[in-house]
Amino acid sequence: MDQNENYHGAMNVSAGTAAPKLLPLLGYAQLITICMYVFSITIPICIFGMVSNIANVLVFYKMGISTPSNISLFCLAIADFFTLCFILIISLGNHPLFLNADLVMSMRDIARMVASVYYGFSALGSWITAVINVERSCCVAFPMKVKQIFTPKCVKWLIGAMVIYQIASGLPRSFGVRIVKTISPLTNRTLLIYTPFNPRLVTTSYFVSFSLPNTVCFAVVVVGTIFLISKFKSSRRLRDSMTKSGKSLSNISEKDIKLVRSMIFVCCIYIIGSAAGVVIYIVSTAYPTLQGDNPYLGTLITAFIVHANLFQAVSCSVNILVYFRMGSKFKKTFFQLFFCRSK
């Protein structure tokens, strides 16, 4: 189920002149109210997230993208930035205040047209989060071998392969849609309308480039995070017992503990932000009739998608707070870069 088609489908069905035989579970007026409030919250979050991710990119570049962690977090910030750009467009385009703006091409159609870019960067963010999670899990499980497995070159090749996969799986969607000229019945202006002419190709590309990677990566991150939390707690207990007995702590690195803790927070943020979207993917795959144009559940599904985008926007925006809290080097580099001072 293509989420962007659901925005369009729910709005069209609900606003249609012919009354459906079965009244929708969530009224169109209620959906408009929900969109008004949720999009009004999502838009400033997206703006904050875009600024914070630009800062993340600059800081990690300044720190040097020579370690696996810095490479992954640098690329994650780029992916989150472009994901937020799209969520901002979709939020503005479907905001009730701008829904009928007199534009040559509506922002909603622009969002649907560039959806492949969103799918690519959103899934890429999931891939990178999964790589970070697996790398930290291996660091805990095989501390002596992890540097041989996850070298900077290996991580670069992994992320490069992910980018190639996303381009290859998302590009076919562009061949299933076209832009059609039409005349506005209200202003008599020539408009450009997004029109899918091969829905099967669009849906297949959506599944392969977005639903499948996000669901698989979500499962990997959940399992890996549970493992990391378990190992982190046992490491803390071991550290405390060794401190009390006066034994050496040389085998337990404080730097590694702080890095694992920050990665746990990043993964937890990702899980919370992606859970709603993953549930929608799974349910819509199991029940294909749950579409935005469903006369009974369409508006309710659209409301869920609106909230899922809000959670994802928060997830893509707040990583900088974790880096500030956990990374003293990140904080120092940030102040040196933007305020010309150290802290």
Q: 11-46, pLDDT tens digit by residue? A: 554 444 444 466 777 888 888 888 899 999 999 999
CB of 329 closer than 8 Å to CB of 63: yes
Buried b (16+ CB within 10 A) or exposed e, 54-68: ebbbbbbeebebebb
The domains of the chain, with CATH numbers, are: 3-16+24-236+251-336 (1.20.1070.10)
CB-count exposure of residue 304 (10 Å: 0-12, 13-18, 19+): buried
CB atoms within 10 A of CB 33: 13
Is the torsion defined by CA of 116, 118, 120, 123 positive or negative?
A: negative
Under 8 Å between Cβ of 289 and 7:
no
Is residue 185 within 8 Å of 99, Cβ to Cβ? no
The confidence score (pLDDT) of residue 216 equals: 93
Query: Distance of alpha carbon 183 from its chain centroid, rounded?
Result: 36
pTM value? 0.83
Question: Residue 159: its pLDDT value, please?
Answer: 92
CA proximity to 201, closest of 167, 178, 165, 176: 176
Which among 49, 57, 31 is positioned nearest to 87, based on CA atoms?
49
Answer yes or no: are the C-beta atoms of 128 and 72 closer than 8 Å: yes
Residues of the chain with pLDDT under 70: 1-22, 99-107, 181, 183-192, 194, 235-256, 292, 341-343
